[in-house]
C-alpha cells in the first residue's frame, strides 16, 4: 500500500491521468462520429457506377480537384465529402464552375441524372460522407409548423424568413430557395455548400430536416396571400415603397393641378 501511495504522489501521475482522460474522450468521440456517419452513409452504388464515375471525373473534374480527387491549388480534396455533396453541386449546375468568383452560382447543369449518379458513386467510394437522402425524407409530408420554427432559428438570418435569400459579405449571398428541389435543400443542409454551415443529425435531426423541406415547399405553394411580396424583405422595404410611391403620386397630382390652373 505504501508503494502504491508513493506512485500516486509521483510528479508524472497527473500528466498520466490527463493523457488517459484525453485518450478516453477522443475514443468516445471517434466512436460516436463513426456511428453517426454510418447512419448517414446508406446510399449504395454498384461497382460499375463508381467505375464510370471515375472516368467522368478524370475527364471533367480532375483538372481542378486532382486525380483521385486529392485536391489541387485550384480545387479542394473531395475525399470524404460524400455522395450528397456531389449530387447537390453537380445536380444544380454549380459544378463544374463557369468562372472563378466569390462562390459557385446555380446554372444549367452539364451532366444528366445518370452521369450525376455515377460521379456521386465515384466520390462516395473514396471515403465515407453524407449520402443522398432517402425518399421518405423528401415526401413533403412533415410538420410544416415545426419546420418553420427550425428554419427561422437556423436559416432565416441568411436566407430571409420567407426564404427569399439575402446578401452576405465580399460578394457572397444566400440564394432564394423557391424552385429548389427538396432533395437539394436536404443535401445542402447535410453538406454545407459555399458559406452555409453543416447541419448534421446532432444539430437538426433527419425528421427536422424533413419538416424544413415541408415548410419551404408549403410557403412556395401558397405564394403571397397579401399581394406583391416586394421581395419579401420585410416592413422596411414595404414602408419605403409606400413612401416613395405615395410621394410620387402626390408630386404628380400637384404638377397636374398646377398645370390645369395655369
CATH 1.10.760.10 fits 43-130, yes or no: yes
Which CATH code, of 1.10.760.10, 1.10.10.10, 1.20.58.1880, 3.90.420.10, is assigned to 133-229? 1.10.760.10
Length of the chain, in residues = 262
pLDDT in tens, 224-233: 666 666 666 6
Residue 136, annotated as binding a ligand: no
User: How far are the Cα atoms of 20, 39, 133, 169, 218 from residue 163, in angstroms, in the given order?
Assistant: 48, 29, 21, 18, 12
Is the model more confident about 5 or about 206? 206
Domain boundary assignment for the chain: 43-130, 133-229
pLDDT tens, residue by residue, 136-156: 999 999 999 999 999 999 999
Q: Express each pLDDT in 37-93 by its tens digit.
A: 444 343 578 999 999 999 999 999 999 999 999 999 989 999 999 999 999 999 999
61 is in an annotated binding site: yes
Please, which pLDDT band fits residue 234 given cuts at 50, 70 and 90? low
Distance, in Å, from the CA atom of 181 to the CA atom of 184, rounded to the nearest integer, reads 5
Per-residue pLDDT, 244: 84
Q: Which of 22-26, 34-38, 39-43, 100-104 has the highest mean pLDDT?
A: 100-104
Cα separation, 178 vs 162, in Å, equals 10
Q: Which residues pair with 72 in a beta bridge?
A: 75
CATH topology of 43-130 equal to that of 133-229? Answer: yes
| Predicted model pTM | 0.73
**155-214: pLDDT as tens digits:** 999 998 889 898 898 889 999 999 999 999 999 999 999 889 999 999 999 999 999 999
74, 59, 67: which is closest to 118 by C-alpha?
Answer: 59
CA neighbours closer than 13 Å in the CB half-sphere of residue 186: 29
159 marked as binding residue: yes
Amino acid at each position: 500500500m505504501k508503494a502504491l501511495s508513493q506512485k500516486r504522489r509521483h510528479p508524472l501521475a497527473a500528466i498520466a491521468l490527463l493523457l488517459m482522460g484525453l485518450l478516453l474522450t477522443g475514443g468516445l468521440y471517434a466512436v460516436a462520429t463513426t456511428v453517426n456517419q454510418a447512419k448517414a452513409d446508406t446510399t449504395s452504388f454498384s461497382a460499375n457506377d463508381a467505375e464510370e464515375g471515375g472516368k467522368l471525373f478524370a475527364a471533367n473534374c480532375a483538372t481542378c480537384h486532382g486525380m483521385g480527387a486529392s485536391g489541387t491549388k485550384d480545387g479542394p480534396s473531395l475525399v470524404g465529402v460524400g455522395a450528397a455533396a456531389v449530387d447537390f453541386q453537380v445536380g444544380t449546375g454549380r459544378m463544374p464552375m463557369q468562372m472563378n468568383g466569390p462562390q459557385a452560382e446555380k446554372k444549367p447543369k452539364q451532366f444528366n441524372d445518370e452521369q450525376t449518379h455515377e460521379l456521386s458513386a465515384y466520390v462516395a467510394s473514396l471515403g465515407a460522407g453524407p449520402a443522398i437522402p432517402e425518399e421518405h425524407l423528401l415526401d413533403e409530408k412533415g410538420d410544416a409548423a415545426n419546420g418553420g420554427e427550425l428554419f427561422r432559428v437556423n436559416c432565416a438570418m441568411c436566407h430571409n424568413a420567407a426564404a427569399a435569400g439575402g446578401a452576405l459579405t465580399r460578394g457572397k449571398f444566400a440564394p432564394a430557395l423557391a424552385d429548389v428541389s427538396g432533395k437539394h435543400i436536404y443535401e445542402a443542409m447535410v453538406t454545407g455548400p459555399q458559406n452555409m454551415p453543416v447541419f448534421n443529425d446532432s444539430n437538426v435531426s433527419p425528421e427536422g430536416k424533413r419538416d424544413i423541406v415541408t415548410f419551404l415547399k408549403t410557403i412556395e405553394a401558397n405564394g403571397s396571400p397579401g399581394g406583391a411580396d416586394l421581395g419579401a424583405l420585410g416592413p422596411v422595404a414595404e414602408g419605403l415603397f409606400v413612401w416613395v410611391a405615395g410621394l410620387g403620386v402626390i408630386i404628380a397630382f400637384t404638377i397636374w393641378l398646377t398645370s390645369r390652373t395655369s
